Protein backbone atom coordinates (compact mmCIF):
# COMPACT_ATOMS: atom_id res chain seq x y z
CA UNK A 1 0.00 0.00 0.00
CA UNK A 2 1.35 3.45 -0.54
CA UNK A 3 0.98 5.50 2.64
CA UNK A 4 2.64 8.76 3.53
CA UNK A 5 5.24 7.10 1.34
CA UNK A 6 4.78 3.79 -0.40
CA UNK A 7 3.16 1.16 1.90
CA UNK A 8 6.52 0.04 1.18
CA UNK A 9 8.06 -1.96 2.09
CA UNK A 10 22.93 -15.28 -4.58
CA UNK A 11 24.11 -17.48 -1.83
CA UNK A 12 21.87 -19.95 -0.06
CA UNK A 13 21.20 -18.79 3.53
CA UNK A 14 24.26 -18.56 5.71
CA UNK A 15 24.97 -19.02 9.40
CA UNK A 16 24.21 -15.79 11.21
CA UNK A 17 26.82 -13.18 12.09
CA UNK A 18 25.39 -10.12 13.84
CA UNK A 19 25.87 -6.62 12.40
CA UNK A 20 27.06 -5.05 15.62
CA UNK A 21 28.21 -1.91 13.79
CA UNK A 22 24.72 -0.98 12.56
CA UNK A 23 23.67 2.23 14.33
CA UNK A 24 20.58 1.95 16.52
CA UNK A 25 19.79 4.58 19.15
CA UNK A 26 20.45 3.19 22.62
CA UNK A 27 17.03 4.33 23.79
CA UNK A 28 15.25 2.09 21.31
CA UNK A 29 13.48 -0.77 23.07
CA UNK A 30 14.76 -4.31 22.78
CA UNK A 31 12.41 -6.80 21.13
CA UNK A 32 10.19 -8.98 23.28
CA UNK A 33 11.37 -12.10 21.43
CA UNK A 34 14.97 -12.78 20.40
CA UNK A 35 16.87 -15.60 18.70
CA UNK A 36 15.36 -18.23 16.45
CA UNK A 37 15.11 -18.11 12.69
CA UNK A 38 13.48 -14.98 11.29
CA UNK A 39 12.04 -13.76 7.99
CA UNK A 40 11.85 -9.95 7.69
CA UNK A 41 8.75 -9.30 5.58
CA UNK A 42 7.79 -6.25 3.56
CA UNK A 43 4.28 -6.17 2.04
CA UNK A 44 4.40 -3.88 -1.01
CA UNK A 45 6.26 -5.29 -3.97
CA UNK A 46 6.38 -8.62 -2.14
CA UNK A 47 2.84 -9.90 -1.50
CA UNK A 48 1.24 -7.62 -4.11
CA UNK A 49 2.42 -4.87 -6.50
CA UNK A 50 4.28 -1.97 -4.94
CA UNK A 51 1.85 0.84 -5.87
CA UNK A 52 -0.71 0.53 -3.08
CA UNK A 53 -2.90 3.36 -1.84
CA UNK A 54 -5.50 3.75 0.86
CA UNK A 55 -8.81 5.55 0.39
CA UNK A 56 -11.31 6.28 3.19
CA UNK A 57 -14.18 3.82 3.03
CA UNK A 58 -12.24 1.51 0.70
CA UNK A 59 -9.05 0.76 2.55
CA UNK A 60 -5.79 -0.37 0.93
CA UNK A 61 -5.92 -1.18 -2.77
CA UNK A 62 -3.47 -1.73 -5.62
CA UNK A 63 -3.62 1.44 -7.72
CA UNK A 64 -1.57 0.10 -10.65
CA UNK A 65 -1.31 -2.10 -12.58
CA UNK A 66 -5.00 -3.02 -12.81
CA UNK A 67 -6.26 -6.48 -11.99
CA UNK A 68 -4.35 -6.96 -8.74
CA UNK A 69 -5.43 -7.04 -5.10
CA UNK A 70 -3.57 -6.61 -1.83
CA UNK A 71 -2.04 -9.77 -0.37
CA UNK A 72 -2.82 -11.80 -3.46
CA UNK A 73 0.52 -13.62 -3.11
CA UNK A 74 0.22 -14.39 0.60
CA UNK A 75 -0.86 -18.01 -0.09
CA UNK A 76 2.28 -18.49 -2.18
CA UNK A 77 4.47 -17.32 0.70
CA UNK A 78 2.54 -19.53 3.11
CA UNK A 79 3.27 -22.46 0.81
CA UNK A 80 6.99 -21.65 0.66
CA UNK A 81 7.24 -21.47 4.46
CA UNK A 82 5.23 -24.63 5.16
CA UNK A 83 8.32 -26.90 5.50
CA UNK A 84 9.69 -24.57 8.21
CA UNK A 85 7.15 -24.40 11.05
CA UNK A 86 9.58 -22.72 13.46
CA UNK A 87 10.34 -19.81 11.12
CA UNK A 88 9.16 -16.52 12.65
CA UNK A 89 8.15 -13.34 10.84
CA UNK A 90 9.17 -9.79 11.74
CA UNK A 91 7.26 -7.12 9.83
CA UNK A 92 9.52 -4.72 7.92
CA UNK A 93 6.91 -2.57 6.22
CA UNK A 94 5.53 0.97 6.39
CA UNK A 95 2.11 -0.52 7.12
CA UNK A 96 3.23 -0.93 10.75
CA UNK A 97 4.15 2.72 11.21
CA UNK A 98 0.98 3.95 9.50
CA UNK A 99 -1.68 1.46 10.61
CA UNK A 100 -0.11 0.00 13.80
CA UNK A 101 1.57 -3.33 14.38
CA UNK A 102 -1.66 -5.11 15.27
CA UNK A 103 -3.61 -3.82 12.28
CA UNK A 104 -0.80 -4.59 9.85
CA UNK A 105 -0.40 -8.13 11.17
CA UNK A 106 -4.14 -8.77 11.03
CA UNK A 107 -4.09 -8.14 7.28
CA UNK A 108 -2.15 -11.35 6.80
CA UNK A 109 -3.90 -14.72 6.43
CA UNK A 110 -3.97 -16.86 9.56
CA UNK A 111 -1.02 -19.09 8.66
CA UNK A 112 1.37 -16.17 8.20
CA UNK A 113 -0.14 -14.08 10.98
CA UNK A 114 0.55 -16.86 13.50
CA UNK A 115 4.28 -16.58 12.75
CA UNK A 116 4.49 -12.82 13.42
CA UNK A 117 6.50 -11.95 16.54
CA UNK A 118 7.25 -8.26 16.05
CA UNK A 119 8.26 -5.47 13.71
CA UNK A 120 11.33 -3.41 12.89
CA UNK A 121 9.40 -0.30 13.99
CA UNK A 122 8.17 0.25 17.55
CA UNK A 123 6.00 3.11 18.79
CA UNK A 124 8.66 4.05 21.37
CA UNK A 125 11.14 4.77 18.58
CA UNK A 126 11.65 8.21 17.10
CA UNK A 127 9.46 7.92 14.00
CA UNK A 128 11.31 10.67 12.13
CA UNK A 129 14.70 9.05 12.71
CA UNK A 130 13.37 5.63 11.76
CA UNK A 131 11.70 6.90 8.58
CA UNK A 132 14.95 8.49 7.39
CA UNK A 133 16.82 5.19 7.67
CA UNK A 134 17.03 3.13 4.45
CA UNK A 135 15.14 -0.16 4.63
CA UNK A 136 18.32 -2.20 4.81
CA UNK A 137 19.53 -0.20 7.81
CA UNK A 138 16.14 -0.59 9.53
CA UNK A 139 16.36 -4.36 9.15
CA UNK A 140 19.99 -4.61 10.22
CA UNK A 141 19.31 -2.45 13.27
CA UNK A 142 16.62 -4.93 14.30
CA UNK A 143 18.95 -7.86 13.65
CA UNK A 144 21.53 -6.29 15.97
CA UNK A 145 18.91 -6.07 18.74
CA UNK A 146 16.94 -9.28 18.08
CA UNK A 147 20.01 -11.45 17.37
CA UNK A 148 18.30 -14.20 15.37
CA UNK A 149 20.17 -17.46 14.86
CA UNK A 150 19.60 -17.07 11.13
CA UNK A 151 17.55 -14.68 9.00
CA UNK A 152 16.39 -13.59 5.57
CA UNK A 153 14.62 -10.46 4.32
CA UNK A 154 11.96 -10.29 1.59
CA UNK A 155 11.80 -6.80 0.09
CA UNK A 156 11.71 -4.98 -3.25
CA UNK A 157 13.79 -2.16 -1.72
CA UNK A 158 17.53 -2.87 -1.82
CA UNK A 159 18.60 0.52 -0.40
CA UNK A 160 20.90 0.49 2.59
CA UNK A 161 22.17 -3.08 2.24
CA UNK A 162 25.93 -3.31 2.70
CA UNK A 163 27.58 -5.85 0.37
CA UNK A 164 28.48 -8.06 3.33
CA UNK A 165 24.78 -8.42 4.22
CA UNK A 166 23.26 -8.46 0.72
CA UNK A 167 23.19 -12.28 0.69
CA UNK A 168 20.46 -12.16 3.37
CA UNK A 169 18.13 -10.20 1.08
CA UNK A 170 15.77 -11.79 -1.43
CA UNK A 171 14.93 -8.81 -3.61
CA UNK A 172 11.48 -9.13 -5.12
CA UNK A 173 9.92 -7.75 -8.30
CA UNK A 174 8.02 -4.47 -7.75
CA UNK A 175 4.95 -5.77 -9.61
CA UNK A 176 5.24 -9.57 -9.56
CA UNK A 177 6.54 -9.73 -6.00
CA UNK A 178 7.55 -13.22 -4.92
CA UNK A 179 5.70 -14.74 -7.89
CA UNK A 180 8.50 -13.81 -10.30
CA UNK A 181 10.00 -17.26 -11.06
CA UNK A 182 13.59 -16.26 -10.35
CA UNK A 183 12.57 -14.60 -7.05
CA UNK A 184 10.56 -17.58 -5.84
CA UNK A 185 13.41 -19.93 -6.76
CA UNK A 186 15.88 -17.77 -4.83
CA UNK A 187 13.58 -17.66 -1.81
CA UNK A 188 13.23 -21.45 -1.72
CA UNK A 189 16.96 -21.91 -2.18
CA UNK A 190 17.88 -19.51 0.61
CA UNK A 191 15.30 -20.95 3.00
CA UNK A 192 16.66 -24.45 2.43
CA UNK A 193 20.22 -23.20 2.79
CA UNK A 194 19.42 -21.42 6.04
CA UNK A 195 18.15 -24.69 7.50
CA UNK A 196 21.00 -26.79 6.10
CA UNK A 197 23.55 -24.50 7.69
CA UNK A 198 21.60 -23.48 10.77
CA UNK A 199 21.48 -26.79 12.63
CA UNK A 200 18.58 -28.47 14.41
CA UNK A 201 16.42 -25.40 14.77
CA UNK A 202 14.05 -23.92 17.31
CA UNK A 203 10.72 -25.07 18.61
CA UNK A 204 7.74 -23.92 16.51
CA UNK A 205 6.41 -20.57 17.67
CA UNK A 206 2.80 -19.48 17.27
CA UNK A 207 2.37 -16.25 19.27
CA UNK A 208 -0.90 -14.36 19.10
CA UNK A 209 -0.93 -10.85 17.65
CA UNK A 210 -3.43 -9.39 20.09
CA UNK A 211 -1.76 -7.68 23.03
CA UNK A 212 1.72 -8.09 21.64
CA UNK A 213 4.32 -6.00 23.45
CA UNK A 214 5.68 -4.50 20.23
CA UNK A 215 2.43 -2.95 19.04
CA UNK A 216 3.14 0.53 17.68
CA UNK A 217 0.74 3.44 17.79
CA UNK A 218 -1.70 4.14 14.99
CA UNK A 219 0.02 6.15 12.28
CA UNK A 220 -1.46 9.31 10.79
CA UNK A 221 -2.42 9.03 7.14
CA UNK A 222 -1.26 11.70 4.72
CA UNK A 223 -3.74 12.46 1.96
CA UNK A 224 -2.03 12.59 -1.45
CA UNK A 225 -5.03 12.91 -3.71
CA UNK A 226 -8.84 13.17 -3.65
CA UNK A 227 -9.39 11.23 -0.47
CA UNK A 228 -6.54 8.82 -1.12
CA UNK A 229 -3.18 8.26 0.54
CA UNK A 230 -0.27 6.04 -0.35
CA UNK A 231 0.77 3.32 2.03
Question: CATH number for the domain including 192?
Answer: 3.40.50
- Domain, as residue range, for 169: 37-230
Q: pLDDT per residue over 79-107, tens digit each?
A: 999 999 999 999 999 999 989 999 999 99
Q: pLDDT per residue over 168-196, tens digit each?
A: 999 999 999 999 999 999 999 999 999 98
Q: pLDDT per residue over 130-157, tens digit each?
A: 888 999 999 999 999 999 999 999 999 9
Show the CA angle centred on residue 34, arms to residues 30 and 38, nearest 5°.
120
Residue 45 has pLDDT above 70, yes or no: yes
Any domain includes 94: yes
Please report which confidence band the pLDDT of residue 202 belongs to, taking 50, 70 and 90 as the band edges: very low
| Measured distance CA(105)–CA(83) in Å, rounded | 21
Any domain includes 156: yes
Please report which confidence band the pLDDT of residue 24 belongs to, taking 50, 70 and 90 as the band edges: low
Model pLDDT, residue 212: 36
Any domain includes 12: no
Any domain includes 41: yes
Any domain includes 107: yes
Amino acid sequence: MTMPEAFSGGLAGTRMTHPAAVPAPAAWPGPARTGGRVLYLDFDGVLHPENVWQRPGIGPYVATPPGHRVFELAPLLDQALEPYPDLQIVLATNWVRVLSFTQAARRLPAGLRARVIGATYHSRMDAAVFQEMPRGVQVLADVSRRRPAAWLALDDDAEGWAPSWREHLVRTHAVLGISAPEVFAELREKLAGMYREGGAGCEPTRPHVAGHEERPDLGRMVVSGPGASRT
